[in-house]
Every structure is written in structure tokens, then in C-alpha cells.
Amino acid sequence: MSIDTPRFRAALLEERERIEKALESLRDEEVEEPAAGDNHLAETATATLDREIDDTLEENSMRVLVEIDAALARVDAGTYGACANCGGAIQAERLEAYPWASLCIDCKREAERG
């Protein structure tokens, strides 16, 4: 198997940094929210919706961060690119799109189905 792990390692570190910055700015925004009581109802609803979107973003970002760390550990362990479920090779194009993928596309689909 010929996976260019140094390149994926760099991509993982880059993505990790990007997500951490995004999380930081999400948290900054939360701090700057106006105090309750200052808002008209419509504005409050918008703020609530914004916060829900932020929370979802934050949740997804945190999940990806965990997966990136796991992928970096696999790079160090020399198991990067192998499916965590069936042990087969994860498709190269899948790794290009999701460098932190731990399952091959077949196992991923299986997991989502079931």
C-alpha cells in the first residue's frame, strides 16, 4: 500500500488548526451576545437560531477534532489508511476528501445503515 502519510499528516494538522480557529471565533461571538431583555422578540428568535447553528457547528467541529486526533495517532502507529472495521484499505479519494476517515466507504455505509 502506498499512502503518502506525510502529506496526509500535514493535511490533518492544517485542518485541525483551521477548526480550532473556527471554534475560537464561535466562542468569541457567544461572549459578545447582548444581554437578555434588550431584544425584541424577533431579534431574540434570530439570536436563538444563530446560537443553535453555532452549537451544531461547534458540536460537529469537536467531533471532527476528535477524529483528526485519532487519525494522527494512526499515522504515528503506522496504521493510517486501514479501515478500523474490516482492516481493508480506505479508498484514496475518500482520504483525500476526509483525511480523518477511519472506515472504508463500505463499512461507513454499513455503519450509517445500522
Instruction: Output the smallest distance, CB 86 to Zn ion, in A.
Output: 3
Nearer to Zn ion, 44 or 91 (CB): 91
Residue 95 interacts with Zn ion (CB under 5 A): yes or no: no
Q: Does 101 bind Zn ion (CB under 5 A)?
A: no
Does 82 help bind Zn ion (rule: CB under 5 A)? no
Q: Which one, of 7, 2, 12, 10, lies nearest residue 68 by Cα?
A: 12
Which helix (DSSP H) or strand (DSSP E) does residue 46 occupy? Answer: helix 41-77
Question: Which grid cell sits at 14?
Answer: 492544517
Q: Which of 22, 73, 86, 92 binds Zn ion (CB under 5 A)?
A: 86
d(CA 104, CA 69): 18
Where does this chain bind Zn ion (CB under 5 A)?
83, 85-86, 88, 104, 107
